[in-house]
Amino acid sequence: MPVREIPMYIDGQPVMSQSQDWRDVVNPATQEVVARVPFCTAEEVERAIASAKTAFKEWRKMPLGKRMRIMLKLQALIRENTAELAALITEEHGKTLPDAEGEVGRGLEVVEHACSITSLQLGELAENAANEVDVYTMHQPLGVGAGITAFNFPIMLPCFMFPLAIATGNTFVLKPSEQDPSSTMRLVELAHEAGVPAGVLNVVHGGPDVANQIADHQDIKALSFIGSTHVGSLLYNRAAAAGKRMQSMMGAKNHCVVMPDANRSQAIDSLLGSAFGAAGQRCMANSVVVLVGEAREWLKDIEEGARSMKVGPGTQRDADLGPLVSPQAKERVERLITAGEKEGAKLMVDGRGCTVDGYPNGNFVGPTLFADVTAEMTIYREEIFGPVLCVVSVETLDEAIAFINANPNGNGTSIFTNSGWVARRFETDIEVGQIGINVPIPVPVAYFSFTGSRASKLGDLGPNGKQAITFWTQTKTVTARWFEPENVSSGINSTISLG
């Protein structure tokens, strides 16, 4: 079976790159090469940006109702093609099919939110702000926007970017991850089937050179990035130097606090799923559990739960977690597990050396559990991005809050408790942008904004919700005063009345 070659998407058409630099896209469960993706040339990136710039002239004038109907068609097409999109995610990323289907559903929520653009992009009016003076605002598109996405959510992350960007009247250039681009490309094809005009949504591929070219380019007015802290920080500085606005959602170290009054089975099931689902390759994964007081006695149950989780290929629906995305990712995770062991953490469940029958070459790491973890250890300080759960034990809620607030990251945190007072105290005092109360992964629904904070985020505005509308538009304020014509015999008044 021939290996498919991934095209660019420019001017409403798939276009094959002329680059001499192509990379293999590999199934992480088998190491089979399933596709090849180009690292586009600088000229090809320029062509995509120029296409978006030209299309903006007409797209910005497209009536809101027509943009809304395109979004409505797109959400219908995504629903119809969920199984295909999920299968492409699983083939190239490795996450289980149920997990991949869930990802498509989260992306779909953003498109559904964009279907409300006719009300989301409304301005404000103050009639008679002064004597016969009206003041009103308009939210107008910026121009060409761009998005650069990580490998871990090849459908959801692009949906966090381009649907609201183009719904507000911008055009767009997307650079998906080179590790799993096929599902993203199918999503872009569906957008054009839905009626997105040529040039409004373009795709280029590549690595740091392409990302830097996008960040530096004067014709791109806003850039959205979701990925690692190192890359996000570099791109943010380049984008700022180029005078563009940017949102950069980056790394994390998320904590789950378990209080002794919590529902025991529900809390343990939830934290295991949030730590090990998608093989831990989620920026919102709860990679640290903080057991408070008598909840420390639940450690044995957590260990048993971790040991019972099933590792398998993503196509195996009863698997709890699939392979890591690459051999390099597996090597890094196993190296960090070794470091945790050497630094004195208690290794209760070891996921190294994990094998799956029939898949000898898969990038599998099993659920791994450490106890007695401290803030100085490498496994706590670094984002492992793998199926590794660190357990920290404290005496009180105050200690738990102080421990979490001392961490520089602020993407998300959760607490499991049956006390409303404890939950309210936690949400008030914790210095983290997204909070779950008896919810393990506190990513809000798409009509609320993604609000990670501190070292997990650069830029004031996050994806989705009201913040995304503000990010992708420029507010223009008009102060207007009209005078009655002096020459009423000119026929102006009668013309107005006839109109």
Positions marked active-site? 283
Q: For 111-145, give one letter per residue: b (16+ CB within 10 A) or e.
A: bbbbbebeebbeeeeeeeeeeeeeeeeebbbbbbb
Locate the DSSP E strands across 185-244: 201-203, 220-226
Q: What's the gap between Cα 354 and its chain centre?
A: 29
Nearest-angstrom CA–CA distance, 330 and 221? 37
Contact 328, 345 (CB under 8 A): no
**Encoded tokens for 8:** 């660019």
Nearest-angstrom CA–CA distance, 214 and 207? 11
Nearest-angstrom CA–CA distance, 45 and 68? 29
DSSP state of 83: H
Q: What's the gap between Cα 493 and its chain centre?
A: 55
Nearest-angstrom CA–CA distance, 498 and 232? 58
Q: What's the gap between Cα 8 and its chain centre?
A: 22
Nearest Cα to Cα of residue 397 among 376, 421, 373 = 421
Q: Cα-atom radius of gyration of the chain, to the nearest Å? A: 25
Nearest-angstrom CA–CA distance, 359 and 312? 8
